[in-house]
Amino acid sequence: MQNKPLILITNDDSIHAKGLHKLADIMRQFGEVVVIASEQVMSGMSHAVTIKTPLMPRLTREEDGYKEYITNGTPVDNVKLGKHALLERRPDLIVSGINHGSNAAINIIYSGTMAAAIEGAIDDIPSIGFSLDDYNPEADFSHVDPFIETITKKVLKEGLPEGICLNVNIPKKSEKAVKGIKVVRQAKARWEEKFEARTDPFGRNYFWMGGVFVNGDPRTDTDEKALADNYVSVVPIQFDFTANQALRQFKF
Amino acid sequence: MQNKPLILITNDDSIHAKGLHKLADIMRQFGEVVVIASEQVMSGMSHAVTIKTPLMPRLTREEDGYKEYITNGTPVDNVKLGKHALLERRPDLIVSGINHGSNAAINIIYSGTMAAAIEGAIDDIPSIGFSLDDYNPEADFSHVDPFIETITKKVLKEGLPEGICLNVNIPKKSEKAVKGIKVVRQAKARWEEKFEARTDPFGRNYFWMGGVFVNGDPRTDTDEKALADNYVSVVPIQFDFTANQALRQFKF
């Protein structure tokens, strides 16, 4: 008898996030689900791993076809813990999210949610990161199901090419219906930070990081453009950082 | 009168690392140097940024053409702090390292040292990450000067293409002389983790992450091969994660 697919879920907004539980609810129709998520918010943790301290996962919920672990690790730690310590077998799929906030364009590099999906790809496990373009902790996820289901079914059935995962961003809920799914490129957009300088009660200077997101990419086939046009964006993602087009430009 | 180049230095092994001070010593011949480094070890922090707490840099040393700040942030925070809060003008060069340990192959994705260089590239500042293939905190850096000087001089003179930084790895000091510098690709090699399970004094299970590095990449033009052949490896690095070759494979 064929086992049901084993699906590992994590995120970077912590075990308490609405988006995580929405994703778990959707995934339970597709297989056996194990959630391994951080106790604390891990937004902006990127591909960080914990090497100075031990990891201590706790099984906090177990019912038919569903388990939930809370950890003191990062999203990438959670994937590694799943693969090597907590899961009884290699997962068939890793899904990360649903992130509260866009991971389109350069946001991917800071995102713990997308790092978890990339970590899956490093180990050749089909992996998808899902994000909603809405930072509100109480965001409305009621429109996301058909898009997540379509993409998940296809990946469960066909797999993904070696070394590639998907970065899926879903427009914020609005009165207009989402128009569909577009496969696009990562936009060249970035944050322009502003550091607000303050003085603490002891006279020491400190800074809070803030900033504005600036998209100067004129191309029409980018994730930012798809989201602006009310499409779900899907970017196939790789973890080879080599700028192949520049290899011949350098000689030392 | 032309200003001397302004060079921002950071790393992920902390302000206390031998490699950081070696790099600062080399850079002082090229311009005005500002070190902004973390008080604590930030190895494995990747592109993490601090968004839950404020950053508190402290100026701890100042002499002619040289400043040193200690921070409570990550390597990427340090670059952002430099650009937006601490430096009097936009830096002409960002150098990160010298990392204690290789950042070749997949190590780049976990590395705070390389993330700092990539953060520079995101803001179109010429940036280089330097690493020594030796994890020893007391590593011998006596052979690195000519290679770092050659690469730095070229980048200061010619700049780097938009959106590209350099990942430079230097072989460990040995009896054999380093043969030269090779411009190569990121090897497809990865860590195979092992989690050692232990029990704490209160009966709770915990795990330490460990693992072995496995290079199964047969290509001869990779960073791992260059290092194995006793060459300095230089990989041009980009931060566009799009798997362009896969764009047409997907349709939803």
Query: What is the Cα–Cα distance from B87 to A153, expressed in whole angstroms?
Result: 51
B40-89 per-position pLDDT tens digit: 999 999 999 998 899 999 999 999 999 999 999 999 999 999 999 999 99
Q: Is B100 on the interface with A (CB under 8 A)?
A: no
- Residue count of chain A, please give it: 252
**Residue B223 in this model has a pLDDT that exceeds 90:** yes
Q: Which amino acid is at B207?
A: F
Q: How confident is the model at residue A210 (pLDDT cuts 50, 70, 90)?
A: confident
**Residue B1 in this model has a pLDDT that exceeds 70:** no
How would you label B95-106 residue by residue, b for 16+ Cβ within 10 Å and e otherwise? bbbbbbbbbbbb
Taken in order A215, A220, A222, A223, is the CA torsion positive or negative? positive
Can you point out the beta strands (E) in A126-247? Answer: 127-132, 164-170, 181-183, 189-199, 205-215, 232-238
Asked if the Cβ–Cβ distance from B241 to A110 is below 8 Å, we say no
Query: Is A181 inside a domain boundary?
Result: yes
Query: Is A67 inside a domain boundary?
Result: yes
Q: Is A212 on the interface with B (CB under 8 A)?
A: no
- Shortest CA distance from B239: residue in chain A: A241
Nearest to B108 among A49, A150, A241 (CB): A241
Asked if the Cβ–Cβ distance from B181 to A252 is below 8 Å, we say yes
Query: Is A200 inside a domain boundary?
Result: no
Overall average pLDDT of the A61-72 stretch: 96
Q: What is the ipTM of this complex?
A: 0.94
pLDDT at residue B193, rounded to an integer: 87
pLDDT at residue B196, rounded to an integer: 87
Strand partners of residue A222: A185
Overall average pLDDT of the A132-156 stretch: 97
Nearest to B243 among A123, A237, A244 (CB): A237
Q: Is A135 on the interface with B (CB under 8 A)?
A: no
Q: How confident is the model at residue A1 (pLDDT cuts 50, 70, 90)?
A: very low
Domain that holds residue B172: 6-185+219-241
Asked if the Cβ–Cβ distance from B46 to A46 is below 8 Å, we say yes
Overall average pLDDT of the A163-178 stretch: 97
Nearest to B49 among A44, A85, A150 (CB): A44
Mutation target to probe the A interface, by most A beta carbons within 10 A, among B53, B194, B207 is: B207
Residue in the block written with tokens 């990062």: A74
Instruction: Quote the minimal CA–CA distance from B1 to chain A in Å.
Output: 30
φ/ψ (deg, to 5) at B161? -60, 150
Strand partners of residue B193: B211
B144-173 per-position pLDDT tens digit: 999 999 999 999 999 999 999 999 999 999
Overall average pLDDT of the A41-69 stretch: 95
Q: Which residues of B touch A225 (CB under 8 A)?
A: none
Can you point out the beta strands (E) in A4-100? Answer: 6-10, 32-38, 58-63, 66-71, 93-100
Overall average pLDDT of the A123-143 stretch: 97
Mutation target to probe the A interface, by most A beta carbons within 10 A, among B122, B240, B247 is: B240
pLDDT at residue A18, rounded to an integer: 98
Instruction: Quote the minimal CA–CA distance from A61 to chain B in Å.
Output: 17
State the count of interchain CB pairs (< 8 A) between A and B.
214
Q: Are strands A232-238 and A205-215 parallel, antiparallel or unpaired?
A: unpaired
Q: Is B155 on the interface with A (CB under 8 A)?
A: no
Asked if the Cβ–Cβ distance from B108 to A183 is below 8 Å, we say no
Residue in the block written with tokens 């008898």: A1
Q: Which residues of A touch B58 (CB under 8 A)?
A: 204
Q: Which residues of A touch B235 (CB under 8 A)?
A: 241-242
- pTM value is 0.95
Asked if the Cβ–Cβ distance from A242 to B236 is below 8 Å, we say yes
Q: Is A177 on the interface with B (CB under 8 A)?
A: no
pLDDT at residue B148, rounded to an integer: 98
Query: Is A42 inside a domain boundary?
Result: yes
B172-212 per-position pLDDT tens digit: 999 999 999 999 999 999 899 888 899 999 998 899 888 89
- Shortest CA distance from B200: residue in chain A: A56
- 3-state SS class at A25: helix
Query: What is the 8-class DSSP label of residue A185?
Result: B
CATH code at position B16: 3.40.1210.10
Q: What is the dihedral of CA B219, B220, B221, B226, to 10 degrees?
A: 130
Query: Is B250 inside a domain boundary?
Result: no
In A, residues 1-40, which contact B (CB 8 Å cutoff)?
none
Q: Are A10 and A39 in contact (CB under 8 A)?
A: no
Q: Is B156 on the interface with A (CB under 8 A)?
A: no
Instruction: Quote the minimal CA–CA distance from A132 to chain B in Å.
Output: 18
* Least confident among A44-48, B2-6, B14-18, B73-77: B2-6
pLDDT at residue A2, rounded to an integer: 61
Nearest to A247 among B83, B236, B242 (CB): B236
* DSSP characters over chain B: -PPPPEEEEE-SS-TT-HHHHHHHHHHTTTSEEEEEEESS--TT-TT----SS-B--EEEEEETTEEEEEESS-HHHHHHHIIIII-SS--SEEEEEEEES---TTHHHH-HHHHHHHHHHHTT--EEEEEES---TT---TT-HHHHHHHHHHHHHH---TTEEEEEEEPPP-SSPP--EEE-BPP-EEEEEEEEEEE-TTS-EEEEEEEEEEE----SSBHHHHHHTT-EEEEEEE---B-GGGGGG---
Nearest to A48 among B45, B106, B208 (CB): B45
Angle of CA points A173, A113, B241, to nearest 5°: 100
Q: Which residues of B touch A188 (CB under 8 A)?
A: 163, 240
Domain count, chain B: 1
How would you label A151-186 residue by residue, b for 16+ Cβ within 10 Å and e otherwise? bbeebeeeebbebbbbbbbbbbbeeeebeebbbbbb
**Residue A76 in this model has a pLDDT that exceeds 80:** yes
φ/ψ (deg, to 5) at A98? -70, 125
Q: Which amino acid is at A156?
A: L
Asked if the Cβ–Cβ distance from A46 to B151 is below 8 Å, we say no
Instruction: Quote the minimal CA–CA distance from B7 to chain A in Å.
Output: 20
Q: Is B202 on the interface with A (CB under 8 A)?
A: no
